[in-house]
């Protein structure tokens, strides 16, 4: 037998924790986004005043704010304008500009007043500019300093923060944008949990067969190396809120009913799975994932004898 069903069961629910609980509800993604409202108001009503900004044509989407301009000696920590740490939550890149170039730069860090440093990852560099990724987590209070380490003399001429997609001036439209295109994995996970909680068993089984942004960004990395060989991808199963929701719903049914539904799902998934391998000797990720999940569910809701029969069928 590929794995021990009892041990896997313990492992699953120790790993997913509150995700598998029907009683504990996660923080609403809407509440999480509303927490940015004061920062958004500060950005557009206070922070951008007297700063050079880059907008779209209709001036309802802000792409870049120039924080500093002039000549700055990198041998000194460069203090950024008041409120920069609060405004940065809406931007994903820091842009440095210098006529002398950036050869010799070893590291770029953000330093807060508590002495905590955040090293920035480099996104790209050309002759006169360097672009770096901004950290998602940053102390939003107190002064913030830019620290550039280099073994060559460099004089910065400009420091700016940039948003790839732009920051919408209307906060409600910005929330709608974030919900459609989540800005972080945390927001995406919360939305994935909320959406999954609304689905019934048939919808959940069907959803497993199809890719979505959540499955691509959250589940595919957890599933590597992909299944389809002699072992199922337990990490992908453990990472999938839909699987714990299916388990939750099946557990609430009479054992005989849950077993029947699980067997029918296995037959349906296996037909689709084997059809792909018959014609192309491979299957796309969601089909593999749905097949792996159906086998795992059989280990939970079918008799050991039936489960072993499904394993044999799958291995063939």
**Mean pLDDT on 27-53:** 82
The last residue of a domain, from among 117, 145, 168: 168
- 8 pLDDT band, cuts 50/70/90, is very low
- On whether residue 248 sits in a domain, the answer given is yes
Whether pTM > 0.85 for this model: the answer is no
- Domain with residue 120: its CATH number is 2.60.120
- Would you give the DSSP letter of residue 23? S
281: left (phi over 0), alpha (psi -120 to 50) or beta: left
Q: Does residue 125 sit in the same domain as residue 216?
A: no
If one counts every other C-beta atom within 10 angstroms of the C-beta of residue 136, the result is 12
Residue 193's φ and ψ, nearest 5 degrees, are -65, -45
**Mean pLDDT on 114-142:** 84
Query: Is 264 a residue whose pLDDT tops 90?
Result: yes
Per-residue pLDDT, 214: 67
Cα-to-chain-centroid distance, residue 169: 24
- Would you give the DSSP letter of residue 58? T
Task: Say how many domains are in the chain.
Answer: 2
The last residue of a domain, from among 114, 146, 168: 168
186-229: pLDDT as tens digits: 666 777 788 888 889 999 999 888 877 666 666 655 555 444 44
- 150 pLDDT band, cuts 50/70/90, is confident
Edge-first strand order for the sheet with 78-79 is 78-79, 144-150, 105-112, 117-119
Q: Does residue 163 sit in the same domain as residue 194?
A: no
Query: Is 309 a residue whose pLDDT tops 60?
Result: yes
The last residue of a domain, from among 99, 134, 168: 168
| Cα distances (angstroms) measured from residue 256 to each of 10, 89, 248, 250, 263 | 22, 51, 15, 10, 11
Burial of 141 (0-12, 13-18, 19+ CB in 10 A): exposed
- 164 pLDDT band, cuts 50/70/90, is confident
- 281 pLDDT band, cuts 50/70/90, is low
Q: Does residue 264 sit in the same domain as residue 206?
A: yes
Which alpha helices (H) appear in 123-254, and where do they start and end?
171-180, 185-197, 201-207, 213-214, 220-223, 234-239, 241-251
Per-residue pLDDT, 220: 59
- On whether residue 55 sits in a domain, the answer given is no
Q: Does residue 91 sit in the same domain as residue 188?
A: no
Per-residue pLDDT, 186: 62
If one counts every other C-beta atom within 10 angstroms of the C-beta of residue 114, the result is 8
Query: Is 11 a residue whose pLDDT tops 50?
Result: no
228: left (phi over 0), alpha (psi -120 to 50) or beta: left
- On whether residue 290 sits in a domain, the answer given is yes
Q: Which domain holds residue 114?
A: 61-168
| CA separation for the pair 147, 275 (Å, rounded) | 58
Per-residue pLDDT, 3: 43
Q: Does residue 164 sit in the same domain as residue 190?
A: no
**Mean pLDDT on 300-308:** 91
């Amino acid at each position: 037998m590929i794995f021990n069903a009892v041990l896997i069961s313990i492992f699953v629910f120790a790993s997913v924790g509150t995700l598998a609980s029907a009683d504990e509800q996660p923080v609403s993604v809407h509440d999480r986004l509303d927490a940015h409202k004061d920062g958004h108001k500060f950005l557009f009503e206070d922070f951008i005043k007297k700063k050079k900004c880059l907008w779209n044509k209709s001036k309802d989407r802000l792409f870049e704010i120039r924080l500093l301009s002039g000549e700055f000696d990198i041998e000194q920590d460069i203090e950024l304008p008041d409120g920069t740490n609060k405004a940065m939550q809406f931007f994903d890149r820091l842009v440095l500009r210098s006529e002398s170039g950036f050869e010799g730069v070893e590291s770029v860090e953000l330093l807060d007043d508590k002495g905590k440093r955040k090293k920035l990852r480099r996104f790209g560099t050309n002759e006169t500019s360097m672009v770096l990724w901004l950290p998602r987590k940053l102390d939003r209070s107190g002064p913030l300093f830019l620290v550039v380490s280099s073994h060559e003399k460099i004089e910065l001429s400009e420091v700016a923060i940039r948003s790839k997609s732009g920051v919408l001036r209307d906060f409600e439209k910005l929330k709608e944008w974030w919900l459609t295109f989540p800005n972080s994995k945390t927001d995406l996970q919360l939305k994935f949990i909320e959406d999954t909680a609304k689905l019934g068993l048939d919808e959940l089984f069907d959803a497993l067969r199809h890719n979505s942004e959540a499955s691509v960004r959250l589940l595919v990395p957890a599933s590597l190396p992909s299944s389809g060989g002699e072992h199922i991808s337990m990490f992908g199963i453990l990472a999938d809120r839909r699987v714990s929701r299916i388990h939750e719903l099946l557990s609430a049914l009479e054992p005989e009913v849950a077993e029947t539904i699980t067997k029918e799902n296995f037959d349906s998934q296996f037909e689709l799975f084997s059809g792909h391998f018959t014609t192309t000797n491979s299957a796309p990720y969601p089909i593999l994932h749905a097949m792996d999940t159906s086998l795992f569910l059989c280990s939970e809701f079918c008799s050991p004898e039936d489960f072993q029969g499904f394993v044999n069928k799958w291995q063939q």
